[in-house]
Every structure is written in C-alpha cells, then in structure tokens.
Structure 1
Amino acid sequence: MTDHTHPIFRPGYQRYLGPNSNDPKTYKYQPHSRPIFSSPFGPFVDTPEDLNVHDFCFPPNQPLVEPDYDLFVNAVTDEKVTLHQFKRRVDALSRVFRHDGPNPLKLRPSPVDDKGPEGGEILGLFSWNHIHYPMLAHACFRAELVFGGISPASTPYELWLVLRKMQITALVLHESLIPVLVEALKLGREADSQSRLRLVLDVKKVMVLSDDSGLDAVQNYPTIESLVKIGERIPEPNPPRKLKGGNKLCYLFQSSGTGMQGMITATQTARFMDMEPLSAPMRLLGVVPAYHSYGMILWILRLNSSVSTNVMMKKWDLELALKTIEKHKLTHLFLVPPLVRQLAQSPLTEKYDLSSVVGAASGAAYLPPDVAYALAKKLPQGADAPVPSGYGLSEAASIASPCAPGMFGLEASLPGTIGYLLPGMEGRVVDPDTGKDVKKGEKGELWARGKVVTPGYFMDKKATDEILVPSSSTDDSGWGWKDGEVWLRTGDLVMRDEQDRIHYLDRLKEMIKVKGLQVAATEVEDTLLDCPEKLVRDACVAGVDNGRGDGSLNVRAWVVLTDEGRELGDAEVGRRLSQYIEARLSRHKWLTGGLEVVDSIPRTPSGKMLRREMRDRYHARLKREAKSARL
C-alpha cells in the first residue's frame, strides 16, 4: 500500500523537487554528441510504486486549501463547482463506483492489465467538456475503476467501433449524445472486419450526465447527480481504504501521462525567476477536450496542485471565448494551432479586453512560427514572447517543450523548435529504416524514454511491439535504467541541434493531424474498403497540405477500383465514396483533400504501403501546376 509519508505527499511545491533536481540558476546543461540525450531538468521525481492518481492530486491527511474557491465554471451558464464541493462529490461518487462496497450498479473489478483473461469493468466517458467531467475521472481513480474517454463528436459507427475496441462494459454519456448511443447499439454486438472484439456494453450500466441537476433519470437511465446523492448516504469505510495504483491499468485514450512534468517545470521556472512557485492563482480557458491526452493533463491530472479556476467551454466558439476571457479575467490560454490562428487573425479580438492574459500556449500539433508571433502581438506578452508549442503524444503525453531562456544555461527555443526534453525524459534520434542513431543535425525518428511512456496499446500486442523497443543496460545514460525498460518510437521526424533542442520536421506514422485532432489513415482506408457496393480493391490515405499554413492537414485518398467501380466511372465512384465516408465518420475525417483513382498503390517488398510516396507525388504535382500557372 502507498506510504503516505513519502516526500511526494509534502505540502507545497517542494513535493515536485527531488534530491537529484537540478538548480535552475546554478546548474548549466552541457550539450553533447552522445546518442542518448537527457532533460536539463534531470531525472523524474521519485514516486511510490503503487501511487494512485487521486492520492497524488489530493494527498491523504492534507486539508484542502482555505478559503474555498471556484474550481470549475460553466462558461455559458456560470454554474460553479468549488474545490471543496468537488472533493466531497468525488468521494461520494467513488463509493458508488467501488466494486467492493455496497455497489448499487453491480460493477465488477476492473482488469489490472490486458494480459490476463478478458473481462473486467471498463467505464466509457462519452461527453463534451463539462464541469463534472473531471469529477467522474477522479471518482474512477478513487474507486480503482478503469475508464476511457470517447470523443463526443463520434458518429454512431465510430462509437460502435470504440466501445468494442476499448471493451467498454459501462458508460457515462452526456444527455445530448443518447441518440448516438441508440443508433450505435443497432449495429449489433458481433465483430466486423476492423476488429475481432465483440460489443460487451451492459445497457443496465449506462448513466447520464445531465445539465439539469434536478433530474434523477433521463430516458430511464440514472443521472450522475442521482448517483452522487446515493454516494452521500454511503459511509466512508473505517479505517479508510489505502488506494492502489502504480503500474495497474488506469485509463485508456481513444486518441493521442502525467501532470507532474508540468508542475516540475512551473516550479523550476518560478524559482529561476525569483518567484514563489505555484503561488499566483490561475484562471484558465477550458476549451481543450477533456477526453484528449492534452485535456486530461490540464483538467484532471493537475487538480489541486495550485489555485486554479477552470472556465469550461462545451466546444470552441471564438466570440464566446473572447467574452469569457474578458468576463472572468482569464490568465492562461491553452490552445491548439487552429485556435491560435483564429485568435491571431480575427478582428473580433480588438473588441475585447485581453489584458488579463499572462500567457498562451499551444499543443496537440505543430504551430507555425508566424502564427506564434501573430497572437503574441495581441496579448500583453508581446512579440518578444511568441506563443510556445509543447510536444507530446497519447503514448507519452509530455515529451518536450520550450523553457525560459537562461534557465539551466539554456538558449531560447524560438518558434519552429519544440524545445528541450521535459523532466524525466531521455531521447535519441534514429534512422527509421536502419534503427541506428544519426548524428546531430541530421534528421531521424525521435525515440523517447521516461515514466510517462505508455505500457502499450490495449489488447493489441502487435501494435505495441511496433512502437516499443526494449532498452538495455548498454544504452543507459546514467539514470539507472534497467533491462526491460522501453524506448517509444514516436513516429515523428525530427532534428536535434547543437544545443540539444528538438526541431519537428514531419510525421512518419500514418496518423494525420486535422485541427489538432488525430485521424488514423488506416481507419479511413478500412472504411473505404468496407463500402458495401464493393467499389474499391485497394486504398491509401494520407495527410496533405491544406494550403492555409496553419499546420493542419487535409485527408486525401487514393483508390484502386474494382470492375464494378470502373463501370461506374471515376467521378461517380468519388461521389459515392465521399458520401459513404461522411455518413460513417466524423467531419475531421472527411476527404477534404479529395479522392483520386489510381492504377496501383506503391508498396515495399514486404507489402507495407508507401503513403509518404503518394503524398509526395501529390505535392510535387501541385508545385508543377502552380509553376505552370505563373508562366
């Protein structure tokens, strides 16, 4: 059981400083040419082997900060949840969710990993950003109930796929999404060509997150509010349970961690700038989706680490965001590149008072330098402090980020770089074809190692083996890695410069970033091949330049037609396939880059599809056409 006297449970910012933490003023990071390079911040802070996320955020036997303050606020209705209310509600709901308590929902124990017999309770969270979403997550942590976030933009078909892929047995969904679930259930319980897994959702374990706190049920499904009321009548066990955590399965991401890296970074930056760490109250714009790894860090994994009020938006609305910044005097904007560009370019920003904003930051996708400077000019920070862009993946939520110039003797990380490795991270740049380390200044795939790296893909050993490469004692950097630790193949092409800064160059994997959201090329390909009219014999999907320079891509498909498809003709096939995609998949997965009929899809001798070649051919053709048009 967790030792609650461990230093990680100390009050204040000292908990984020271990005995091996580097002093931000006196320590000077020394760049080098060895293949493995490490974070200037030093190793990760030591944590108990069985640390539970809820205990990390709310250390046992520590009183909550006084006076109480608003933790979550609804940007539209102004409904609020204070820190103290949040903790009481989490405790109540967790008593309902625990399988070893009164258990009114008849929940089973959750799996501890995906290597044992199939089965066990896994809760899906299918909702927009909501002031009670983080409560659901922390109730699951405290109940040791495994959960997974699901995009609220999912179509019925996508929801059906995800419910089976995650093996969801119980579900909490926002009331507005009930029709999506109803349609998804009509697709049946059997596996299809994209998955060997059957639907295992128990409809008796469906719960509703309602905007009306007075409702106990919606369409005969119990509301979360009604379950909180039940939990308030269940006594806390005496003595209190000691929560388990550590390497147990905790939560599943549908798309692309830990909140501790950000807190270490904030603490060290404040020390460098002669400020009291984590002392200034923060007011954040809550627009990044909570189901995404980026949102998970912001709205769930950092709770109670400092005084922060999070004003939550259901979905992005430019003018509502500006009104919210002015009304609530927000201090920090956590954004994705398309939102940064909208704020930078819109004349609406001139109508609202943005003087309260201390800083803005971007994540989830590459941020073009011109956009980083353009928004900074509209904020108090000014063009001398361009909007920084962090780097992470669902498989390792936080890997690198710019840091304050001069800290650890580091040079500035200007837009165009993704900065230095974050606390506890190590990296290497590897030739993706040979697996050998490349020299500094040469491009290669970034491999990352650290405690934030995922154990793998749920119930998909093949995919896990493709991205995780075992370490050995021969490539130890001095941080005490053991045989069996792994390197994560990020699938991103980068360059490591002379100062050990990382420059993002391109994407190697088939994931396509569209407005900060991930599109799996294989999902779109499979959907094209599954068209019941059997028009396609082979398909290739890749991300292509959208022409706007905002770092977002368009989804483009190349298809080889069957005899039936050729009889219809290219134009009619394109129309029918586009309609089929738009009826099955979310808008960001639509073929905005077009569809092209080709004679064949290039592949390696082993059969691997060469998506990059198709994309490069397309871009080269666009350049030739543009040049011809100018002549």
Structure 2
Amino acid sequence: MGPKSPDVHGQFKPQPGAIFRSPFGPFPSILEDLNIHDFCFPPENPLPKADYDLFIDAYTGSKLTLYEFYDKVCSLARAFRYDGPNPMGFSKSPETDKEPGEIMGIFSRNNIYYPVIVHACFRSELVTGGISPGSTPYELFHILRRMQATSLLIHESHLPVLREAVKIAQSEDGKNGGSKLVLNPKKIIVLSDNPTADFVEQFPTVGHLIRSGAKMAEPTRKRKGGKKLCFLFQSSGTSGLPKAMMISHWNAIHTALQGMVGATRTAEFLGVTPTHSTLLGVVPAYHSYGMILWILRVNLYSATNIMMHRWDLETALQAIEKYKITMLPLVPPLVRQIAQSPLTDKYDLSSVMTCVSGAAYLPPDVSHALGQKLPQKAPIPSGYGLSEAASIASPPAPGIFGLPAADPTTIGYLLPGVEGRIVDPDTLKDVPRGQKGELWARAHVVTPGYFQDAKATAELFTEPGWLRTGDLVYRDEWDRIHYMDRLKEMIKVKGLQVAATEVEDTLLDHPEKLIRDACVAGVDNGRGDGSLFPRAWVVVTEEGTRQGEEAVLRKLHEWVNGKLSRHKHLDGGIEIVDLIPRTPSGKTLRRQMRDQYHERLRAQQKAAKL
C-alpha cells in the first residue's frame, strides 16, 4: 500500500488550502519501465493455482478460463510482435506521438476475445486504440485518420462500415489540410464469431493468428512500458468529432492500482476477505470505463465476466439469475431502465451485492429507485472519470477514514493518488470551498495529451500537470465533490448560467412521473442577439401517454416554472420525442438534439419564404 498509507480506522482531515487530496493517500511506488501486461501477469508468477471461468458470452455461453485467456494472449502476441515471425508485417510502434510507427485500431463490439486482443497488444508492445462499434463510416474514417492507424482489427459484422469508410477516404483524403488515411489493407484482421475460421473474405482471423502463434517460439525479452505510448482512446464528449487521446503504460498501471488500493483498504476496513465476483459485462470495452473493468483488472481480482455484445434488458436479467451475478457496472440510462421495468419482478436479483454507475451523471432519484430493487436497499453510487483520466473520484465505503457517506448528490471523494482543485473557468483562480468552479485534477492516471494535436493538448493543461476536466463542481466541507454540469453545456440566458442537468432532474422529478427521460439544451432565441433559451426534449411514460400531449406539456411547464428561477424556464419549448440519443457510454447527445432543432427551424423559415 505504500509507506504513507493512512489508517482506515483513523480520521481524515480535509485540507484547508486550494489543493485537496485523496483520503486514501498517494500511490505506492512501482518500477518506472513496467509494462501493463506484466503488471497484470507478473512473469515470475503469472497465474494463480486454481483456474476459473474468466469470460462468458451471455448470448452463446462460450467461455474462456483464465488459463485459456493467458495462453491465447501469449500465442497472439507472438504473431503480433514486429521483430518475430511477424505474419502480418507489422512495424515497430511509436513510443510517443512525435514518431511514426504501427498503430492498430480495434473496431469491435464487446466480445470475450476483445480483452485477449488488447493484452496481446500490450505484451507485444503494439500500440492500439479502441473505436466505438456504433461508428458511422464517416466517423470511422475520421478516427482512423486521427489515430494514424496503420492496421485494423475488426469484428466481421462491421466490415460493411469499413468498406464505406474506405470509399469516403477516396474522395475526402487530405482535403482542407486534414491528414490522410494510412491504413494498410494488407494489415486487416477479422474477429469472427466462428472461432475455427481462418479467413473471412480475404482477411486472416484472430483465431488463425492465435493458432499460428501457438506454433511460434517465445523469445526471451524484457518488455518495455513506463511512460511509453500504450493505448489511444476516443475522447468522449458531445461536441465535434472525437480526438485520439494517449494513454501510457504508466497511466494504465496507476488506473489499475487505484482499484487494487481501494478494494484492499475497503476489505481491511470492513474486516472481510475479498471473494470471487461475477460481473455483468455490458459496458463497452473500447471505452475507458470498460477498459478498467475488462482489461486492466484481469488477474488482479478473481472475477468472472458475463459479456454482452448488445444491451437487452431481459437477457441481462436472465444472466443475473443464471450466473448469480454479484456486481452490476452500469451507465445511467441502464440504471433507469432496470429501475423502471416491471421485468425485474420476474427474475431473482438476490445475488447482486454491488451496483455502480459511471460514464455520465446519475440523477439521485434514479439511484434510489434501482437501489430499492436490490438486496441492499441502498442508493446506487456513481463514480467519476473521463477518457483523459479514467478514474478521479468515487464514493468509498461509509466510515472508512472516518468519512461521512457520499450520498447520491455527490460523486464522492478523490481516488487514490489524485489531487484536485476547483477553479473559476474565466479567471483561472481557485475558488473558495462551497463555490462552483471547474474541477482540475493531477495524478499519474492523467493522459499525456491528444495524439499529434498540440493545440488541443494545450487547452487541456492551462497549468503544467493540471488536467482541466471541463466539469463544473463544488467541494464541500469534507472534500466531497458535488457534480453540477459540463462547462460547455452550461446555457447562457441573458448572461446568467443554466445547468442543463438541473432542469432535466426537475422535469424527471415531476410527482406524476409523466416522463422517463429528458434532454435540455440551449437553442437560439430567434432575436439575433446571441442569447439562448432552454429547450427540453422528453420521452413520456405510460402515464404521460394516458394523459395526452397537451396535458403533459402544460404540467411540465407549470412544474418547472414553480421550481426554478425565471431564467431557467423552458422558453425554448418542450418537445415530446420517442428517444433521447446517447453515446454508448450513456452521455446525452445534447448537441445533436439542438442541431437537429435548428436545422428544422431553418428549413421551415426557408419554406415560408417560397
């Protein structure tokens, strides 16, 4: 745990200054050149004595045990290694973004082989990057360029998207000063649902390379890691196209360490021994949240992961009952769906010991609603992180270090090794405790920056080492962090700020439960003065449908007007929709809703002039 680890039964004292720190203390020291794969599978002792099911496909029942996982990782890594037999003709990967080299994109939905592929890349020192399986051809073309991906590992179901992306490249490549697509069509590997297939179309499969690698000799070498480039994430967010964000082996190891330190200290505090866990694997593996769960924790904890390549509520509930799942890592839309669905009454959820939410803001009412359906009858805690620093804050066990509980109105306390500041985003001055400002974070989990994008990186770090999260929060008397909103999603109305999440929570809190989802964004007020009106898009419940659109809109307006200040009223209107669009990680696509509304207005104005 490190020489400065605090007593779990002691009393944490909040720091009086502008910089505040984790109650768990600093990180323990590690070898500076360590590779994340060697951290998870130490070469001198890579596996425990007893094997167990590590990954299970919730739909097909296919399995990989821990021993099978490690064996396949080693075989695939031999086939990936640039200085070995190298059947794919890979070159050496770059150590920083200042040099060229092999970068392999992974374009796949969740699959029990996804973590095998990533660990094989770690082991072979092949830099890789996950790509959202929901990407359109244009988005795929864009992220492959951003990553400067020279090779691609793709699930067979996504091949049509790749073909369209290549067509786009033929017409768009290099336009407007953009970089060119450098993907080599001879370096495409397919992840097939048929593990015995050697080729899909003309491309070799993951299974084929594993079988080939199993016949190759394992050379003795010391793997490199440390501050060298390890992985590229798509940065999250709702504005613009995604960027490629760098993660070093150092970042990945410290992210894994946070979970180990947190779990070990919690077990020590509670006086229990950690036991085998079974997790529901619906969080996408390409995302930082999924990376932590399915890749960075392999062999650090004893766990079985029930993987889902697509979300289906009843399949998830069946899996919970069948596999006696003990932990549900979720995103807010799934928390809400499970909480509100009558299907939960059909299945046995008594095995669930823990449920956590991440990747987006979780409204307190939703946290309480699902908590009441689970054995502990406690609100669902919500952690906080972002692609640029995967894990920053989380609610710990109540009472540890003498801390009061972090209820659902907070995102908890800083995680091990993290320091924080709350800063006025305009003046860049630290604000007093209790006053809202932008959260800045400093830790070994923080990204070195955006890949080959010095301008965007500079915007992240106004001061050296301090990551600007872009989130508005405030810090209370115990150094708990209270989330307010995304800085870029604050709506300016006559110079006053409106937090979209505050208005959304108010709408969802209507006592008649007229709606089950809401999105609020600022739209043009039509006066040409640059000011905005808050506008809401809502999805009605069965009760809302029964009462009718006119009654629902009237009651929602009356409710908001009675609860919130005048500048927060929905003068931009309320619109009933079938669905609120979200990213795979659960973030509301406010920009998309706003842009579609503005486009519709322009079309109507144009038609009126004809």
User: Structure 1 length normalisation: TM-score?
Assistant: 0.77
Matched residue of 2:106: which SS? strand
Deviation for aligned residue 1:598: 11
User: Which of 62, 65, 71 is the equivalent residue of 1:79?
Assistant: 62
Q: Confirm whether residue 47 of structure 1 aligns to residue 48 of structure 2.
A: no
Whether the aligned pair in 2 keeps the contact of 1:556 and 1:591 (CA below 8 Å) is no
Deviation for aligned residue 1:599: 12
Q: Confirm whether residue 18 of structure 1 aligns to residue 2 of structure 2.
A: yes
Please give the alpha-carbon distance, in whole angstroms, between the structure 2 residues aligned to 1:81 and 1:291.
19
Could you tell me which residue of structure 2 aligns to residue 372 of structure 1?
Answer: 367
The Cα offsets for residues 45-69 of structure 1, whole Å up to 9 and x where unpaired, read as: 2111111010011111105112210
**Cα 1:599/1:75, change in 2 over 3 Å:** closer
The Cα offsets for residues 543-602 of structure 1, whole Å up to 9 and x where unpaired, read as: 786654778746777699xxxxxxxxxxxxxxxxxxxxxxxx9997584354237999xx
Residue type of the alignment partner of 1:79:
S
Q: Confirm whether residue 468 of structure 1 aligns to residue 461 of structure 2.
A: yes
Residue type of the alignment partner of 1:249:
L
Could you tell me which residue of structure 1 aligns to residue 411 of structure 2?
Answer: 418
Whether the aligned pair in 2 keeps the contact of 1:556 and 1:595 (CA below 8 Å) is no
Could you tell me which residue of structure 1 aligns to residue 447 of structure 2?
Answer: 454
Whether the aligned pair in 2 keeps the contact of 1:337 and 1:551 (CA below 8 Å) is no
Gaps of 5+ in 1: 1-16, 472-485, 513-541, 561-584, 601-631
User: Which of 378, 387, 394 is the equivalent residue of 2:387?
Assistant: 394
Please give the alpha-carbon distance, in whole angstroms, between the structure 1 residues aligned to 2:257 and 2:151.
29
Could you tell me which residue of structure 2 aligns to residue 10 of structure 1?
Answer: none
Could you tell me which residue of structure 1 aligns to residue 145 of structure 2?
Answer: 164
Q: Confirm whether residue 225 of structure 1 aligns to residue 222 of structure 2.
A: no
Could you tell me which residue of structure 2 aligns to residue 607 of structure 1?
Answer: none
Residue type of the alignment partner of 1:200:
V
Please give the alpha-carbon distance, in whole angstroms, between the structure 2 residues aligned to 1:405 and 1:72.
31
Could you tell me which residue of structure 1 aligns to residue 401 of structure 2?
Answer: 408
Please give the alpha-carbon distance, in whole angstroms, between the structure 1 residues aligned to 2:181 and 2:523.
29
Matched residue of 2:168: which SS? coil
**Cα 1:182/1:226, change in 2 over 3 Å:** same
Residue type of the alignment partner of 1:203:
P
Matched residue of 2:462: which SS? strand
Please give the alpha-carbon distance, in whole angstroms, between the structure 2 residues aligned to 1:330 and 1:229.
32
**Cα 1:53/1:510, change in 2 over 3 Å:** farther
Could you tell me which residue of structure 2 aligns to residue 284 of structure 1?
Answer: 279
Please give the alpha-carbon distance, in whole angstroms, between the structure 2 residues aligned to 1:328 and 1:448.
38
Please give the alpha-carbon distance, in whole angstroms, between the structure 2 residues aligned to 1:437 and 1:367.
27
Please give the alpha-carbon distance, in whole angstroms, between the structure 1 residues aligned to 2:468 and 2:71.
41
Could you tell me which residue of structure 1 aligns to residue 249 of structure 2?
Answer: none
Matched residue of 1:253: which SS? strand
Deviation for aligned residue 1:75: 0.1
Please give the alpha-carbon distance, in whole angstroms, between the structure 2 residues aligned to 1:433 and 1:218.
54
Residue type of the alignment partner of 2:229:
L
Please give the alpha-carbon distance, in whole angstroms, between the structure 1 residues aligned to 2:180 and 2:11.
55
Please give the alpha-carbon distance, in whole angstroms, between the structure 1 residues aligned to 2:267 and 2:588.
39
Q: Which moved more, 1:247-256 or 1:406-415?
A: 247-256
Could you tell me which residue of structure 2 aligns to residue 521 of structure 1?
Answer: none
Matched residue of 2:120: which SS? helix
How many aligned residue pairs are there? Answer: 510
**Cα 1:50/1:598, change in 2 over 3 Å:** same
Please give the alpha-carbon distance, in whole angstroms, between the structure 2 residues aligned to 1:390 and 1:295.
13
Could you tell me which residue of structure 2 aligns to residue 595 of structure 1?
Answer: 597
Could you tell me which residue of structure 2 aligns to residue 245 of structure 1?
Answer: 225
**Cα 1:140/1:285, change in 2 over 3 Å:** same
**Cα 1:316/1:426, change in 2 over 3 Å:** same
Deviation for aligned residue 1:70: 0.4
Q: Confirm whether residue 176 of structure 1 aligns to residue 178 of structure 2.
A: no
- Aligned counterparts, 1:116-135, within 5 A: 116=99, 119-135=100-116
Matched residue of 1:424: which SS? coil
Q: Confirm whether residue 362 of structure 1 aligns to residue 357 of structure 2.
A: yes
Please give the alpha-carbon distance, in whole angstroms, between the structure 1 residues aligned to 2:308 and 2:525.
39
Matched residue of 1:499: which SS? coil
Matched residue of 1:109: which SS? coil
CA-atom RMSD in angstroms: 2.6
Deviation for aligned residue 1:509: 3.2
**Cα 1:554/1:126, change in 2 over 3 Å:** farther
Whether the aligned pair in 2 keeps the contact of 1:558 and 1:597 (CA below 8 Å) is no
**Cα 1:211/1:599, change in 2 over 3 Å:** closer
User: Which of 276, 288, 311 is the equivalent residue of 1:293?
Assistant: 288
Deviation for aligned residue 1:197: 1.1
Residue type of the alignment partner of 1:270:
A
Could you tell me which residue of structure 2 aligns to residue 576 of structure 1?
Answer: none
User: Which of 121, 127, 130 is the equivalent residue of 1:149?
Assistant: 130
Please give the alpha-carbon distance, in whole angstroms, between the structure 1 residues aligned to 2:344 and 2:281.
18
Deviation for aligned residue 1:254: 1.0
The Cα offsets for residues 480-500 of structure 1, whole Å up to 9 and x where unpaired, read as: xxxxxx000001100000111
Could you tell me which residue of structure 2 aligns to residue 327 of structure 1?
Answer: 322
**Cα 1:543/1:109, change in 2 over 3 Å:** farther
The Cα offsets for residues 316-368 of structure 1, whole Å up to 9 and x where unpaired, read as: 11111000100100000000011001111100000000000001000001111
Deviation for aligned residue 1:22: 1.5
Whether the aligned pair in 1 keeps the contact of 2:489 and 2:521 (CA below 8 Å) is no
Matched residue of 1:275: which SS? coil
- Aligned counterparts, 1:294-309, within 5 A: 294-309=289-304
Deviation for aligned residue 1:415: 0.4
Could you tell me which residue of structure 2 aligns to residue 441 of structure 1?
Answer: 434
**Cα 1:105/1:488, change in 2 over 3 Å:** same
The share of aligned pairs that are identical, in percent, is 58
Whether the aligned pair in 2 keeps the contact of 1:557 and 1:591 (CA below 8 Å) is no
Residue type of the alignment partner of 2:282:
V
- Aligned counterparts, 1:469-484, within 5 A: 469-471=462-464
Please give the alpha-carbon distance, in whole angstroms, between the structure 2 residues aligned to 1:195 and 1:443.
40
User: Which of 2, 13, 19 is the equivalent residue of 1:30?
Assistant: 13
Residue type of the alignment partner of 2:396:
C
User: Structure 2 length normalisation: TM-score?
Assistant: 0.80
The Cα offsets for residues 272-292 of structure 1, whole Å up to 9 and x where unpaired, read as: 00012xx30000000000000
Could you tell me which residue of structure 1 aligns to residue 185 of structure 2?
Answer: 203
User: Which of 254, 259, 279 is the equivalent residue of 1:262?
Assistant: 259
Could you tell me which residue of structure 2 aligns to residue 499 of structure 1?
Answer: 478
